[in-house]
C-alpha cells in the first residue's frame, strides 16, 4: 500500500480489488477522501440527483449483473435518504454495499449538533442490513470489506453498511488492500438430500415453488422438474427461471386460485429459494397439505410459517442438482397430468376485468418489442401487478419488481442501474404516474449517461390502486387524485425524448426506437386511451 494513502482512498482501492467497477453517489463535504480515492481509480462514478436514486441504481445494477451494487453516501441525510432503497434490497435479497461517512469518533453519541449528526447512525440503519460496521481505526477497514463480500458470496445476499468516521477516513491507511477469498455457500447435507429424494420418489403429485434464490440455477431447476413431471409455480423474483412457455411452468401465479388449488392438491412440495411470502400470494399462508421440502440459504426460512418435512440449508443449485442425481434412474412415481396443468393455466387467465385486459394489451405489445434477454424494471403500479403474472419471461434476471418492501419510485433509477450493469441488454422502466414522480429527477442522470432506456409511463391521473381500495371499502377518495404535470414537457425539460403513441402499433414502434436512441425516452400511455378499448 502506498504510504501516503488515506483510509478513504484505501476503501476505494479495496473495492476495485474486489471487482467493483461502478459506484453510485453524490459527493459531499464528509466524503471527500472517498472521492479522492475515486479520482485515482478505474471505478466509474455515476453521479445521481438524490441518494434514494443511488440506492435503487445499486439495486438494479446488482439484479441485472449478478454482482454487488455499491453506493456512496454522506453522514446523516445521505444515509437516511438511501434507507428506502436499502430496505428494498434487504427485503428482496439483493447484494448492495452502502459506504458512508459518519461523524468523527470523538463526537459519536455526544449530540453536539455536528453537521449531519445522528445520535446513533449505525443503529438507524441496522434493521435494513445484514451487517453494519462502524470503523474505529484504519486497520479495521480491510476486515469490514472482506466481511461484506463474504456475506454476498456465501449467505442470503442482503445489504451491508460500512461507516467510516471523518477522522478515520482522513487518517493514514493501515494494512493492505488485497481482496480476500470468500467462504463457499453451504453444500447440502447428504442425508437431507436422500430423505427429500425418498419423498419425491414416492410422490404421486409433486409440485415445485421456485423463488428468487434460483435465478442462477435455471438448468438444475428444469432438470428436477422434468424428472419429476412436476409443475413449477414461480414467485415474482423467480420469473424466467423456467420459461413461461415450458409445459410445466405455471408462471408467477401464486396469487391465482387455480394455482393455489393445484398446490393444495400436491402430496410433496419443494419450495426452493423462496420465503413463501405474503407479497407473492396476497394471502397470509398458502394451503400446503403435502409434505414440504424447503431449500434455502436462510436457516430461519427453512422452518418459518410452515411445517417442514425436510429442510436443506444449501445453495439452491447444489441442492437441486443433488436431488436430480439421487432420483436419476428411479423414475417418478407419478406426476400431475399435462392436461391438468394446462387447465390450471387457462383458469388463471379466465375472467379478467376490463382494466387488466387493457394492461394485457400494452404488456403484449411490450413483449413483442423487447428482445428475449431484455430487462423490465417495474414500479408499484397496477399495470406491473398484472405484469407480474401475465408478462412472459424466458430467462432469469429479466424482470425486477420491488416485491417485499413495495416502495414507489423504484423503476427509473433501478432501470438506470440495470442498464449500466448489463449494457448489452435492452432495458425498460415501467412506472405509474405517481411512482414516476418519486424519483423523476433521475431522468437527468439517464440523460447525462446517454442511456437508451424506454420509460413506459402508465398514467391514470391517480393513485389508482389505493383509490379503488377506498371505493371498495366505502372510504371517500382522499389524496388519491393529485395534479399531474405535462409529462411530455417534463421529460423534454430534462433533455429526454418523449412520445405519446396513438395506437398499439405506434407503441411498439416507440419502444423499439427507444432502444436505439441517444438517451432515455418517456413513452406515455394513458389508461383512458381509445386504442386500449
Beta bridge partners, 172, equal: 6
pLDDT one-digit tens code per residue, 484-521: 999 999 999 999 999 999 999 999 999 999 999 999 99
Residues 431-475 have pLDDT tens digits of 999 999 999 999 999 999 999 999 999 999 999 999 999 999 999
Q: Read off φ and ψ for residue 394, nearest 5 degrees.
A: -115, -5
**pLDDT tens by residue, 356-365:** 999 999 999 9
Domain 352-532 has CATH 3.40.50.970: yes
Average pLDDT in the 268-279 region?
Answer: 96
pLDDT tens digits for range 335-388: 889 999 999 999 999 999 999 999 999 999 999 999 999 999 999 999 999 999
pTM of the model: 0.96
What is the pLDDT, as a whole number, of residue 3?
62
In the chain, which segments carry CATH 3.40.50.970? 7-170, 352-532
Average pLDDT value for the chain: 96
3-state secondary structure 422-488: CCCCCEEEEEEHHHHHHCHHHHHHHHHCCCCCEEEEEECCCCHHHHHHHHHCCCCCCCCCCCCCCHH
Domain 7-170 is found in CATH 3.40.50.970: yes
Going by the DSSP 8-state scheme, the letter that residue 80 receives in this structure is H
Q: Is the pLDDT of residue 304 over 80?
A: yes
Q: Which residue has the cell 395506437?
A: 503
Q: What is the pLDDT of residue 1?
A: 47
CA atoms within 13 A of residue 326's CA, in its CB half-sphere: 20
CATH class (in words) of the domain with range 190-348: alpha beta
At 330 the pLDDT is 73
Residue found by looking up cell 406426476 in the block: 335
Cell of 370: 423487447
d(CA 402, CA 322): 31
Amino acid at each position: 500500500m502506498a504510504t501516503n494513502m488515506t483510509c478513504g482512498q484505501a476503501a476505494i482501492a479495496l473495492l476495485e480489488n474486489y471487482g467493483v467497477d461502478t459506484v453510485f453517489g453524490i459527493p459531499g463535504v464528509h466524503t471527500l477522501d472517498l472521492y479522492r480515492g475515486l479520482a485515482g481509480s478505474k471505478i466509474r462514478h455515476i453521479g445521481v440527483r438524490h441518494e434514494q436514486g443511488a440506492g435503487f441504481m445499486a439495486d438494479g445494477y446488482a439484479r441485472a449483473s449478478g454482482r454487488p451494487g455499491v453506493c456512496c453516501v454522506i453522514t446523516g441525510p445521505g444515509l437516511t435518504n438511501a434507507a428506502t432503497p436499502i430496505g428494498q434490497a434487504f427485503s428482496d435479497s439483493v447484494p448492495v454495499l452502502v459506504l458512508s461517512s459518519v461523524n468523527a469518533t470523538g463526537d459519536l453519541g455526544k449530540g453536539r449538533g455536528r453537521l449531519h449528526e445522528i445520535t446513533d447512525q449505525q443503529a438507524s440503519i441496522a434493521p435494513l442490513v445484514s451487517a453494519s460496521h462502524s470503523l474505529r481505526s484504519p486497520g479495521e477497514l480491510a476486515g469490514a470489506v472482506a466481511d461484506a463480500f463474504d456475506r454476498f458470496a456465501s449467505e442470503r445476499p442482503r445489504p451491508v453498511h460500512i461507516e467510516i468516521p471523518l477522522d478515520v477516513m482522513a487518517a493514514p491507511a493501515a494494512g493492505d488492500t488485497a481482496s480476500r477469498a470468500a467462504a463457499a455457500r453451504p453444500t447440502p447435507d447428504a442425508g437431507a438430500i436422500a430423505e427429500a429424494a425418498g419423498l419425491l420418489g414416492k410422490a404421486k403429485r409433486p409440485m415445485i415453488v421456485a423463488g428468487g434464490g434460483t435465478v442462477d440455477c435455471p438448468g438444475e431447476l428444469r432438470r428436477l422438474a422434468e424428472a419429476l413431471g412436476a409443475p413449477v409455480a414461480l414467485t415474482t423474483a423467480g420469473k424466467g427461471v423456467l420459461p413461461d412457455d415450458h409445459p410445466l411452468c405455471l408462471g408467477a401465479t401464486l396469487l391465482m386460485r387455480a394455482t393455489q388449488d393445484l398446490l393444495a392438491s400436491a402430496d410433496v412440495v419443494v419450495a426452493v429459494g423462496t420465503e413463501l411470502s405474503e407479497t407473492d400470494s396476497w394471502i397470509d399462508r398458502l394451503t400446503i397439505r403435502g409434505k414440504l421440502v424447503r431449500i434455502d440459504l436462510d436457516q430461519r426460512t427453512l422452518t418459518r410459517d410452515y411445517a417442514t418435512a425436510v429442510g436443506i440449508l444449501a445453495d439452491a443449485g447444489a441442492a437441486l442438482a443433488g436431488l436430480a442425481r439421487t432420483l436419476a434412474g428411479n423414475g417418478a412415481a407419478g406426476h400431475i397430468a399435462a392436461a391438468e396443468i394446462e387447465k390450471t393455466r387457462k383458469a388463471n387467465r379466465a375472467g379478467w376485468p376490463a382494466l387488466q385486459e387493457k394492461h394485457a394489451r400494452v404488456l403484449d405489445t411490450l413483449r413483442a418489442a423487447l428482445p428475449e434477454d431484455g430487462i423490465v424494471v417495474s414500479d408499484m403500479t397496477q399495470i406491473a401487478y398484472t405484469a407480474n403474472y401475465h408478462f412472459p419471461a424466458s430467462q432469469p434476471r429479466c424482470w425486477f419488481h420491488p416485491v417485499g418492501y413495495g416502495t414507489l419510485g423504484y423503476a427509473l433509477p433501478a432501470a438506470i442501474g440495470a442498464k449500466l450493469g448489463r449494457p448489452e441488454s435492452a432495458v425498460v422502466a415501467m412506472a405509474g404516474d405517481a411512482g414516476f414522480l418519486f424519483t423523476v429527477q433521475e431522468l437527468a442522470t439517464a440523460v447525462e449517461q446517454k442511456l437508451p432506456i424506454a420509460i413506459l409511463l402508465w398514467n391514470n391521473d391517480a393513485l389508482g390502486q389505493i383509490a379503488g381500495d377506498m371505493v371498495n371499502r366505502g372510504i371517500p377518495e382522499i389524496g388519491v387524485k393529485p395534479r399531474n404535470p405535462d409529462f411530455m414537457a417534463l421529460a423534454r425539460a430534462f433533455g429526454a425524448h418523449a412520445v405519446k403513441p396513438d395506437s398499439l402499433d405506434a407503441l411498439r414502434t416507440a419502444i423499439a426506437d427507444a432502444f436505439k436512441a441517444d438517451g432515455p425516452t418517456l413513452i406515455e400511455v394513458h389508461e383512458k386511451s381509445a386504442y386500449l378499448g
